[in-house]
Structure 1
């Protein structure tokens, strides 16, 4: 806790700025691990640590100041070239970032115990800072027999063993070179943590190796590594992570842009000053119209003059409210980068835990979406990304056997199309075999043999999202037993989104999320049921038409209609929401039917009357109302009456539930 009292505003500013600097630190470290030759990047990371240290000191949070000081010292050694960038070093620094983030949460919650772990993390960093690079520096030579099949796979297996032995300083050929062409010899330089004799025994156990030789390199430590590089003739690009700012530090190379100032997704939204000015101007116009209306109340004029001025004021108010609506919606829109920037760390940790090499690509992060939608899709995206790394991508050896690059690819893409935002999670892994999905569904009783005969490939893949369904053969500590896609879909459907999947066996899988731009205001088709008004989001409406009673068929207790050669269930609202909403079908008169789309198969809803289209503002139902199947909220119409918002996804699920039971 600080040694002096901060005002609430001062504390809020400190927490916000500290969170922003931690984001820069984390994202910078993740990039620096792959781009250690970028001196501008290490300078940006160092500046973030320095800024955080200064802010914590000024606010009186001494433990945060002490930890960031040690972090700053380590970064200074990296910046000056005195310390090489290694995976263990990045791990320790990311551990410090996590501890600092937890401390900020503790400060916000006024939890005095929440910062207790900072001292232990600082102690580990201080120990790392005090240590010179210790260990036995060893040069290895490995050769595969001339008649051995797939020699590159054997060399890659040997490389993995050497990586586990300590810090793999240099290696030739690299993993990328092994992918590109066939090699039978490998040389490597390793700073050992394990005894070389133990590693030699592991290498000797590999098949098809005719030579495994090692020899210590004189000098040891960091300086000997440089000497050994000269003795073995390894090239400067052979696999060591070079310190930025050192010799050949890449100052002449074109550098990638350094991370910008990225704040965490919090309960605050940054708004452009120009937008605030526009809102202020619109409020000023509203005040003017209010004054005009007040004047009209006291005005002694004939009806025609009053009507003319009222129409003018009404027209002006309509324009202002439209502008206000658009401006406020724009203020609620935030870029997906606020969410996407959390995922590189997730992919890094998952790939290290699983022993897989993953190239993670993100595009479309500048796409904007309503913040209430973004808040709801974080967990589903996290689950899909973990599944892509864990279950989607093959291991390195399997990828080599299939002729694929050792490094798997996972991509996260967002784009805007019409009135929706699409987010895709793709991998270039095994793909999903529909036949295996169907076999698992039959074995577990998710579908009958008769029903299975008529399922299309897309309908089979949709079984993946059934509650409790899994094709995972092995339990994973990262993704559990492979279950949870039903939860992912349910969370996406809560924001009126849809989840679908495309896959090719042996080539990869793409999960696609379709989302509305905003949850606050939607274009809806108004219908009348039992004297009440219901609003159906236009995004879920295929068409509205009329059908005669004689066109309705019956099967298994359900009504069916045919629309353009497609048979679909016809839902009577009374079956969903009670007899008060049952539609009475008069003789000799067609009734309106609304064809709805949510998922793969459409369905039709019988209604009393079509009332037209209108924009509606969605409001949540009071908790005392409870969970009503097929209803997601309500809206107050212009005449003061209330319209219930139809949840088409929920309605579809309820129909399916009743059909299967």
Structure 2
């Protein structure tokens, strides 16, 4: 009796596996591209590329994603050829592989959105180009350093292994053969081959581990580990509990020599490639992000229930009931929820380095057919950001990088005339030191932005400062490109970048110097899900605002307030209040939100920093600090400057989450305030 197999049940697992391997593919493509730029092979990266592409092909065949199978089959053939050549790959091959990987990524995303039904066929032209490229074998230098290794070890090496060891000699790096002999004494000391591998991996790069028979080994078996390292021989001997006699250099002086073993004889099979891969020792579990979203949803319910309990406890206390024990339980519950919040938030974090690692590939694709050379530097450190934020900011960063390549960086001839290096520089640096906000700097050393050209294109007056210049280049439809290209000229993008930052509760700023370059600062919150908020009341209505946006809370002294005369240009009338030796604008929050006069003068003010300036918002009463799950206002019709979302404080009614920083920027741009 036949059984109908619903392949759709496997799609969730397929997507997680495929995305993980695509991440590995992108990381190794970057490594291969960097090696190619320095005119040297990267055997290990090419081997990992082959393994990942082969796995994606198998996974796709299992769920019936035939277009992906077709593309990965052609990619696999090219990568197998490169692996046979010791990791050598041409610029043309690498560009085709990039195109193939992008095509695979697009189809994996399509499956994620609409299942197999929405899967588009494999591009015919791409398949033809990949097939045609398979006959081109990368060239290899005739002269290479000779490896001094025992014959049985030589035979165990693949072309990729050998190329890795040879390249180490070319780069003046030390390659050694380390012998480890298991014994009862070593076992008693907890030293086995697994422990030795871990120790040596911390001292260098393990190329190969080969077991062999050994008459002098206590167990009759020893392990030969081939290692590229900078560590001294004494330290290596200590790691294997051996002597200097167990450490041997494997490099002989450079000389023209044929390969020690024909490449075909050492060619690895697909099974050998998979077997040679060593899994990470770090224990990880892949989790569908939708499950994390569900956990977050349940956590938000716990927060709301805690708020309700606090309200009930407050009412009981008002009636004279002793609630000391209940308050102690609530305090402990609050601490537990805070720890749970931290754990869930950390589970949702993704490393910025992983998010940004594709940018060099993006730049390589843009510059392939241009007369520009671009170096990309990424400094992300250990910075992390919530998955929801990462998904929104990555397209914005890609657009800023594309703009830098297309508009900012000069071609090689222009740079020579300007006295600059031929290769342009783009750097992406991350700063999450505040723990609350992530600051991304996208900087280039190009021609800078010409305010006069922007003014002509926009039909606006000449920008007097960089804030006005940013506003002009972010106008929808504006483009300073003289011609339409595949990457720019449509006037779409900068307005979306700025809007993305603002919708996340962040900001975009600009710094440019003619002839020297431009930098954009993209500031976004590390997480937009659970945040610490300050709750307050304005004319009887409760609002909350993220604690990170509030610089200071002050008492309003009516004697220190100066009224500003109203003019016909003013939509709202601020006051000025003396604060720390200077006058800052003061707005009654109720008047700003409702466009009328507050019935009573506010008693407290929240001071919000605006770069070097500041603005204060008057409120009636502070209610306290608490955690809140913020629901973004995704409906375009509900997007109002100064309002970033809503939350539930336990009373069953939605409470508006105010973005006082954005609201302050809007108000400070009014003529009467900036005068």
On the 8 A contact 1:437/1:463 being kept in 2, the answer is: no
On the 8 A contact 1:519/1:618 being kept in 2, the answer is: yes
Cross-structure match for 2:609? 597
Cross-structure match for 1:45? 49
Cross-structure match for 1:437? 451
Cross-structure match for 1:617? 629
Cross-structure match for 2:404? 388
SS in 2 for 1:602: strand
Matched, 1:474 2:482: yes
1:413 shift after superposition = 1.4
Alignment of 1:132-531 (within 5 A): 250-252=167-169, 253=171, 268=289, 307=323, 309-364=325-380, 366-418=382-434, 419-432=436-449, 436-437=450-451, 440-441=454-455, 446-447=460-461, 455=464, 457-464=465-472, 466-468=474-476, 472=480, 474-477=482-485, 478-480=487-489, 484-531=493-540
User: Deviation per CA, 1:505-552, whole angstroms, max 9, x where unpaired?
Assistant: 333222112222221233333332121112232332233331427622
Q: Distance in 2 between matches of 1:467 and 1:622?
A: 22
On the 8 A contact 2:608/2:664 being kept in 1, the answer is: no
Q: 2:60 aligns with which of 29, 44, 56?
A: 56
Q: Distance in 2 between matches of 1:247 and 1:110?
A: 41
User: Deviation per CA, 1:291-319, whole angstroms, max 9, x where unpaired?
Assistant: xx9xxxxxxxxx99985643443333222
Cα distance change of structure 1 residues 538 and 65 upon mapping to structure 2, 3 Å threshold: closer
On the 8 A contact 2:30/2:357 being kept in 1, the answer is: no
Q: Distance in 2 between matches of 1:329 and 1:84?
A: 42
User: Deviation per CA, 1:429-485, whole angstroms, max 9, x where unpaired?
Assistant: 2234xxx4268548956448xxx7xx5x44454445552596836245222266643
1:659 shift after superposition = 5.2
On the 8 A contact 1:355/1:395 being kept in 2, the answer is: yes
SS in 1 for 2:576: strand
SS in 2 for 1:69: helix
Q: Distance in 2 between matches of 1:122 and 1:23?
A: 22
On the 8 A contact 2:454/2:472 being kept in 1, the answer is: no
Q: 1:582 aligns with which of 597, 600, 607?
A: 597
On the 8 A contact 2:586/2:617 being kept in 1, the answer is: yes
Cα distance change of structure 1 residues 341 and 536 upon mapping to structure 2, 3 Å threshold: same
Matched, 1:553 2:553: no
Q: Distance in 2 between matches of 1:257 and 1:333?
A: 31
On the 8 A contact 2:43/2:87 being kept in 1, the answer is: no
Q: Distance in 1 between matches of 2:321 and 2:355?
A: 55
Q: Distance in 2 between matches of 1:82 and 1:635?
A: 58
Query: How many pairs does the alignment contain?
Result: 519
1:77 shift after superposition = 1.9
On the 8 A contact 2:111/2:118 being kept in 1, the answer is: no
1:12 shift after superposition = 2.0
Cross-structure match for 1:630? 642
Cross-structure match for 2:20? 20
Cross-structure match for 1:128? 133
Cα distance change of structure 1 residues 59 and 503 upon mapping to structure 2, 3 Å threshold: same
SS in 2 for 1:362: strand
Q: Distance in 2 between matches of 1:386 and 1:112?
A: 32
User: Deviation per CA, 1:387-407, whole angstroms, max 9, x where unpaired?
Assistant: 111122111111112222211
Q: Distance in 2 between matches of 1:431 and 1:622?
A: 35
Alignment of 1:561-580 (within 5 A): 561-564=576-579, 566-578=582-594
Q: Distance in 1 between matches of 2:397 and 2:79?
A: 32
1:30 shift after superposition = 3.9
1:620 shift after superposition = 3.7
SS in 1 for 2:605: strand
Cross-structure match for 1:81? 85
State TM-score, norm by structure 2: 0.66
Cα distance change of structure 1 residues 480 and 8 upon mapping to structure 2, 3 Å threshold: same
SS in 1 for 2:480: coil
Q: 1:94 aligns with which of 94, 98, 104?
A: 98
User: Deviation per CA, 1:179-208, whole angstroms, max 9, x where unpaired?
Assistant: xxxxxxxxxxxxxxxxxxxxxxxxxxxxxx
State TM-score, norm by structure 1: 0.67
Q: Distance in 1 between matches of 2:118 and 2:505?
A: 40
Cα distance change of structure 1 residues 484 and 114 upon mapping to structure 2, 3 Å threshold: closer
Matched, 1:29 2:29: yes
Q: Distance in 1 between matches of 2:528 and 2:509?
A: 20
On the 8 A contact 1:103/1:114 being kept in 2, the answer is: yes
Cα distance change of structure 1 residues 243 and 643 upon mapping to structure 2, 3 Å threshold: same
Q: Distance in 1 between matches of 2:539 and 2:118?
A: 58
Over the aligned positions, Cα root-mean-square deviation in angstroms equals 4.4
595-604 or 391-400: which moved more? 595-604
On the 8 A contact 2:544/2:658 being kept in 1, the answer is: yes
Cα distance change of structure 1 residues 53 and 379 upon mapping to structure 2, 3 Å threshold: closer
On the 8 A contact 1:67/1:119 being kept in 2, the answer is: no
Cross-structure match for 2:189? none
On the 8 A contact 1:400/1:406 being kept in 2, the answer is: yes
1:347 shift after superposition = 1.2
Q: Distance in 1 between matches of 2:652 and 2:287?
A: 34
Q: 2:553 aligns with which of 535, 544, 547?
A: 544
Cα distance change of structure 1 residues 70 and 485 upon mapping to structure 2, 3 Å threshold: closer
On the 8 A contact 2:65/2:116 being kept in 1, the answer is: no
User: Deviation per CA, 1:402-423, whole angstroms, max 9, x where unpaired?
Assistant: 2222111111111222232211
